[in-house]
């Protein structure tokens, strides 16, 4: 039997404690366009949720947040099974990676790390519920189709 052919990674769905707080983070800090409900509007679904698309508008939605309440279990710390982080490409130059640093600081967003992966340069941040997000740029001129580069040692990134 042939394997399934994946065309794209379509969207990410996250459980969040407080929908309003998380929607504000993804909309106002990271710049996602909230498509449902419209900001300040009521959801058209039977549970508290919000959907977002990126500036590219490449698909119906790329992020869905579902509220589970303040009493939800916290993110486990350390080595564990499950989601480690998800990556959001924000450009193709280190200048495009430097630009959001001031905004992240204004919004008191935790910057958990910065890495040079040879093929990408990355900032790692935490959302209000502790989900880790990689903001990255593709390094110009690097042949990322070379599989040996994907396994390159990770080095600290200095912006």
What pLDDT does 45 receive?
A: 60
Of the listed ranges 12-21, 36-45, 121-130, the least confidently predicted one is 36-45
Burial 20-29 (b: 16+ CB within 10 A, else e): eebbbbbbeb
Distance CA 100, CA 133 (A): 14
Q: What share of the chain has pLDDT > 90, as a percent?
A: 72
User: Which element (helix H / strand E) includes 24?
Assistant: helix 19-24
Indicate the average pLDDT of the chain: 91
Taking 70 as the threshold, does the pLDDT of residue 51 lie above it?
A: yes
Q: What is the mean pLDDT of residues 105-119?
A: 95
7/109: higher pLDDT: 109
What pLDDT does 15 receive?
A: 97
pLDDT band per the 50, 70, 90 thresholds, residue 7: confident
Distance CA 26, CA 131 (A): 12
What pLDDT does 75 receive?
A: 85
Are 50 and 23 in contact, with CB atoms under 8 Å apart?
yes
The distance of Cα 50 from the centroid of its chain, to the nearest Å, equals 15
pTM: 0.90
Q: What domains are defined for the chain?
A: 12-67 (3.10.180.10), 86-156 (3.10.180.10)
- Dihedral sign for Cα 14, 19, 21, 26, please: positive
φ and ψ of 124, to 5 deg: -115, 125
What pLDDT does 134 receive?
A: 97
Which one-letter DSSP state was computed for residue 153?
P
According to DSSP, the residues that pair with 159 across neighbouring strands are: none
Residue 159's CB is within 10 A of a number of other CB atoms, namely 10
What pLDDT does 157 receive?
A: 96
What pLDDT does 42 receive?
A: 64
């Amino acid at each position: 039997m042939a394997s399934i052919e994946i065309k794209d990674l379509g969207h990410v769905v996250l459980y969040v404690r407080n929908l309003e707080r998380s929607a504000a983070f993804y909309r106002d800090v990271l710049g996602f366009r909230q498509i449902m409900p419209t900001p300040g509007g009521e959801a058209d679904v039977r549970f508290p949720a919000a959907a977002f698309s990126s500036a590219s508008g490449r698909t119906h939605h790329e992020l869905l947040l579902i509220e589970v309440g303040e009493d939800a279990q916290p993110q486990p710390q350390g080595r564990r099974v499950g989601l480690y982080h998800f990556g959001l490409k924000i450009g193709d130059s280190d200048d495009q990676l430097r630009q959001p640093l001031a905004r992240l600081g204004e919004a008191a967003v935790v910057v958990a790390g910065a890495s040079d992966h040879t093929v990408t340069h990355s900032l790692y941040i935490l959302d209000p519920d502790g989900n880790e997000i990689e903001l990255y740029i593709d390094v110009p001129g690097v042949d990322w189709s070379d599989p040996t580069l994907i396994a390159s040692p990770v080095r600290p990134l200095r912006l």
